[in-house]
């Protein structure tokens, strides 16, 4: 039986992750681009961890952090009388953490591709740093930023390993599409699993299709076709 809950939760997880990685990914990529300090390499390596570690390991670390006895879990329990472990929020956290490196690295590459002379030119024309950022840096880095968003969305939508560690598989509550596919197959319910597979494929396909069409329209004269 295909249910709405996993589909809705998966979309929520992907969208929430998108919002968070967009803000934090761009923020860190922009700040670290200019700023040279001794611990920079270590921080960048740390940011890449969720990409290179097996998702189950990322999930395990998160479990330790947000579990009832973990530092974050304790903090939440003491000050907010709540827990996020084994709730939909944990699924969103897992999605955000695994998607972050993709956004960070895409944004970093996108910002590096922007000719700093153009930003300097804007400064000599009287533009504030904010104006330079929003009128020069972001528009010129936009294709790379959008590519990062698509990768992050897809990664968060398909997240399995870390999600099952921190959100568990509570049907009707924390089940996402990938978890539903796995447990339906486990139970030999291939029809349900197949339907979920079709749904998640359709979501991903339409997202990329829409983005390609939109970016082509937006870029206007750009010779390159879609982003993907």
Partner 1 sequence: MLTVDIKKQLPDFALQLEFAVDRNILVLFGPSGCGKTTTLRCIAGLLRPDAGKIACDGQVFYDSQTSVHVPPRVRSIGYMFQDYALFPHMSVKKNVWYGVQQRNTHTDEMYRKLMGLLKIEQLEKRYIGQLSGGEKQRVALARALMAEPKILLLDEPLSSLDYATRMELQAELKKMQELWGIPFILVTHDPDEARAMGDQIVFIDQGRQVAPPLSWSR
Give contact residues for partner 1 (rule: CB under 8 A): 115, 117-118, 120-128, 135-136, 139-140, 221
Least Å from the CB of residue 227 to partner 1: 16
For the bound state, the minimum distance from the C-beta of residue 127 to partner 1, rounded and expressed in Å, comes to: 6
Query: Is residue 61 within 8 Å of residue 93, measured between CB atoms?
Result: no
Residue linked to tokens 């907010």? 80
Give the helix ranges, DSSP H, for the chain.
4-34, 40-52, 55-66, 71-80, 88-112, 116-124, 129-132, 138-157, 161-166, 177-186, 190-219
Residue 49 in contact with residue 149, Cβ under 8 Å? no
CA pair distance 40, 193, nearest whole angstrom: 44
Q: What is the smallest separation between the CB atom of 216 and partner 1, expressed in angstroms?
A: 15
* Tally of residues, the chain: 228
Task: Give the residue with the Cβ less far from partner 1, 138 or 197.
Answer: 138
Pick the closer one to partner 1 by CB: 4 or 130. 130
The residue (of 99 and 141) whose beta carbon lies closer to partner 1 is 141
Cβ atoms of 130 and 122 closer than 8 Å: no
Is the CB of 43 or the CB of 121 nearer to partner 1? 121
Shortest separation between residue 114's beta carbon and partner 1, angstroms: 11
């Amino acid at each position: 039986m295909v249910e709405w809950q996993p589909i809705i939760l998966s979309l929520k997880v992907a969208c929430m992750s998108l919002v968070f990685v967009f803000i934090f990914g761009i923020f860190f990529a922009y700040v670290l681009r200019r700023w040279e300090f001794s611990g920079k390499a270590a921080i960048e390596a740390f940011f890449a961890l969720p990409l290179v570690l097996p998702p189950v390991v990322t999930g395990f670390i998160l479990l330790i952090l947000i579990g009832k006895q973990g530092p974050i879990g304790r903090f939440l329990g003491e000050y907010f009388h709540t827990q996020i472990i084994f709730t939909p929020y944990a699924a969103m956290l897992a999605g955000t953490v695994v998607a972050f490196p993709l956004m960070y690295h895409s944004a970093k590459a996108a910002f590096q591709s922007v000719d700093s002379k153009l930003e300097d030119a804007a400064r000599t024309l009287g533009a504030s740093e904010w104006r330079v950022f929003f009128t020069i840096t972001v528009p010129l880095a936009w294709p790379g930023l959008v590519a990062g968003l698509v990768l992050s969305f897809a990664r968060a939508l398909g997240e399995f390993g870390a999600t099952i560690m921190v959100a568990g598989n509570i049907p009707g509550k924390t089940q996402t599409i990938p978890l539903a596919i796995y447990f339906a197959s486990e139970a030999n319910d291939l029809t349900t699993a197949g339907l979920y597979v079709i749904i998640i494929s359709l979501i991903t396909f339409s997202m990329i299709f829409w983005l390609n069409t939109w970016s082509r329209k937006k870029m206007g004269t750009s010779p390159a076709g879609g982003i993907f």
